Amino acid sequence: MTQAAPPKNHLAAIHIAQKTLGLSADDAAALKIAITGKASAADMTGPQRRQYLAHLSDLQVRMGKLPRSTHAAKRPALHRTTADTNDERWLKARVLWQVLANASEVHTNTDVALMAYVHRQTKVEHWRFLNTYQINGVIESLKRWCERVNAPTEPIKKDATHG
What is the spatial distance between Cα 49 and Cα 43, in angstroms, rounded to a whole number? 9
Looking at the predicted structure, is the pLDDT value of residue 63 above 60? yes
pLDDT at 66: 57
Looking at the predicted structure, is the pLDDT value of residue 151 above 70? yes
What is the spatial distance between Cα 163 and Cα 154, in angstroms, rounded to a whole number? 19
- Quick one: pLDDT band at residue 155, thresholds 50, 70, 90? low
Looking at the predicted structure, is the pLDDT value of residue 72 above 60? no
pLDDT at 108: 86
Looking at the predicted structure, is the pLDDT value of residue 54 above 70? yes
Mean pLDDT of 60-75: 55
C-alpha torsion sign, points 49, 123, 76, 117: positive
Range among 46-55, 69-78, 136-145 with highest mean pLDDT value? 136-145
What is the spatial distance between Cα 49 and Cα 76, in angstroms, rounded to a whole number? 20
